[in-house]
């Protein structure tokens, strides 16, 4: 009983995303802390040694302090994940992952007597290979030696979302910066039916950068952080792209996109190009519209089919077709239950709808439902997770709270606690 009470006090969630790492203990409530999934490897410096600031790798907000040093960033600023996966031999990438874990657990380590480490629930992409589980467990074992981790478990991100929503039969569509995973769940993820897209928030960033170049903000287009801010503030998701563009060109002031970057004098005004706001959301759902071809011809990367390990990530398949493809890999008897509960999760689905543009722009739930209906799937129910960027982390916390301490990790079932300390 003591171990169970202790576990419930010290459950700790870690959601490893391609763009952001969300983390924190159960005591945070509904929202985790967020660090960018990146690390900086500083050049060795005598001055840094003298000042006591020499570090092998820097993560979190401190990374920004190194970006203006005039050094070549290509080999020093490392984003470890590609489509939710760290390469098996990417030692710099794995060093960043280890530092993210260490930093996040250290941030919350209580100073009181009796702390024996956190019960860590880590969440990875549904297509993460076995070696990622093994490597993470190795690092968490090292954290146990430093008094930061007591026990740990790892679950797929879609399963964490289903747990957060208390659903046992559903389809989870998890879309982050690097990829989109469509995972049917019936008590557990049906791994043979998972379909992955090589498309996510990164493509929305890419089209935003092209729009900025076309509207005279080429310097801003080179700054990833600025592009992401502008995407989030000015991007719109159209219910029907052709109708949205037509409306925007006839009602320019109604859709005019203006945004001032906080703390700066920089104001972005898309002016007559404000109709392009609808392209930012559309490319995630369907990049096949002819209007995107001009951007691809001018050099914007086309989302390509790519294979990572045993998984094929589709590039140009639209989101509705991806859901249908995934569901139709499942038993026919199960398919109506899956279509009846489709859960959208991930920051990539967090599109706002200005009151003045309702019916022209829409949220992700209405968009996907409309696309599915157009393909003949009528009996659907699509749910947008509240604050979708945090759904995985919340599911980690719920899972860790409910999973009994005595249920030990099984490599066959891929579930349970791996106890690092007695």
Q: What is the DSSP string of 300-359?
A: PPPPPPEEETTEEEESS--HHHHHHHHHTTS-TTTHHHHHT-EEEESGGG-----GGGBT
140 and 275 both lie in a single domain: no
Of 243, 278, 302, which marks where a domain is finished? 302
144 belongs to a structural domain: yes
Confidence of residue 50 (pLDDT cuts 50, 70, 90): very low
344 belongs to a structural domain: no
355 belongs to a structural domain: no
Of 279, 302, 325, which marks where a domain is finished? 302
31 and 123 both lie in a single domain: yes
126 and 14 both lie in a single domain: yes
Confidence of residue 267 (pLDDT cuts 50, 70, 90): very high
Please give the sequence-ordered ranges of beta strands (E in DSSP) within 55-112, or none if there are none.
Answer: 77-78
pLDDT at 47 exceeding the cut of 60: no
Task: Report yes or no: 277 and 234 within 8 Å, Cβ to Cβ.
Answer: yes
Of 243, 271, 302, which marks where a domain is finished? 302
372 belongs to a structural domain: no
- Structural domain tally of the chain? 2
**Residue keyed to tokens 């998890």:** 174
223 belongs to a structural domain: yes
**DSSP code per residue over 285-303:** H-TTSTHHHHHHHTTPPPP
pLDDT of residue 57: 87
pLDDT at 416 exceeding the cut of 80: yes
pLDDT of residue 52: 46
Q: Average per-residue pLDDT in the chain? A: 90
Confidence of residue 179 (pLDDT cuts 50, 70, 90): confident
Average pLDDT over residues 345-350: 90
36 and 149 both lie in a single domain: yes
Average pLDDT over residues 357-381: 95
For residues 372 and 366, what is the distance between their CA atoms, to the nearest angstrom?
10
147 and 32 both lie in a single domain: yes
pLDDT at 210 exceeding the cut of 80: yes
Query: H/E element holding 394?
Result: helix 391-402
52 or 245, greater pLDDT:
245
* CATH number of 139's domain: 3.30.420.40
pLDDT of residue 334: 95
381 belongs to a structural domain: no
283 and 399 both lie in a single domain: no
84 and 221 both lie in a single domain: no
113 and 42 both lie in a single domain: yes
For residues 384 and 386, what is the distance between their CA atoms, to the nearest angstrom?
6
pLDDT of residue 143: 95
140 and 27 both lie in a single domain: yes
Please give the model's pTM, rounded to 2 decimal places.
0.85
13 and 131 both lie in a single domain: yes
126 and 233 both lie in a single domain: no
185 belongs to a structural domain: no
53 belongs to a structural domain: yes
Average pLDDT over residues 2-20: 90
26 and 91 both lie in a single domain: yes
Tell me the residue range of the domain where 97 lies: 2-157+390-419
For residues 368 and 351, what is the distance between their CA atoms, to the nearest angstrom?
13
* CATH number of 219's domain: 3.30.420.570
């Amino acid at each position: 009983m003591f171990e169970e009470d202790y576990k419930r006090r010290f459950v700790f969630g870690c959601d490893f995303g391609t763009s952001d790492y969300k983390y924190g203990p159960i005591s945070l409530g509904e929202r985790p802390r967020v660090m960018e999934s990146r690390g900086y490897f500083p050049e060795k410096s005598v001055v840094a040694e003298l000042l006591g600031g020499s570090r092998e790798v820097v993560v979190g907000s401190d990374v920004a302090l190194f970006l203006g040093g005039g050094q070549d960033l290509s080999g020093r600023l490392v984003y470890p994940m590609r489509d939710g996966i760290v390469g098996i031999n990417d030692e710099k990438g794995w060093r960043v992952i280890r530092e993210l874990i260490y930093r996040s657990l250290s941030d919350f380590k209580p100073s009181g007597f009796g702390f024996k480490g956190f019960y860590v629930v880590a969440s990875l992409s549904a297509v993460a290979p076995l070696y990622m589980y093994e490597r993470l467990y190795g690092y968490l074992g090292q954290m146990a030696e430093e008094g930061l981790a007591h026990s740990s478990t790892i679950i797929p991100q879609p399963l964490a979302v289903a747990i957060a929503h208390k659903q046992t039969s559903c389809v989870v569509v998890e879309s982050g910066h690097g990829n989109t995973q469509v995972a049917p769940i019936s008590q557990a993820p049906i791994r043979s039916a998972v379909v992955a897209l090589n498309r996510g928030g990164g493509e929305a960033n890419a089209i935003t950068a092209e729009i900025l170049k076309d509207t005279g903000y080429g310097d801003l287009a080179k700054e990833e952080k600025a592009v992401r801010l502008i995407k989030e503030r000015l991007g719109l998701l159209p219910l029907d792209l052709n109708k949205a563009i037509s409306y925007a060109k006839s009602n320019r002031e109604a859709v005019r996109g203006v945004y001032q970057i906080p703390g700066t004098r920089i104001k972005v005004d898309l002016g007559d190009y404000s109709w392009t706001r609808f392209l930012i959301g559309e490319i995630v759902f369907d990049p096949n519209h002819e209007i995107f071809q001009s951007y691809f011809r001018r050099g914007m990367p086309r989302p390509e089919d790519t294979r990572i390990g045993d998984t094929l990530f589709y590039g140009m398949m639209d989101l509705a077709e991806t859901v249908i493809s995934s569901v139709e890999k499942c038993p026919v008897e199960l398919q109506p239950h899956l279509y009846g509960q489709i859960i959208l999760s991930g920051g990539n689905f967090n599109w706002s709808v200005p009151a003045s543009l309702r019916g022209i722009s829409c949220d992700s739930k209405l968009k996907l439902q409309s696309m599915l209906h157009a393909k003949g799937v009528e009996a659907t129910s699509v749910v947008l997770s509240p604050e979708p960027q945090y759904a995985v982390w919340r599911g980690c916390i719920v899972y860790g709270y409910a999973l009994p301490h005595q249920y030990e990790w099984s490599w066959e079932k891929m579930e349970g606690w791996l106890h690092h300390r007695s």
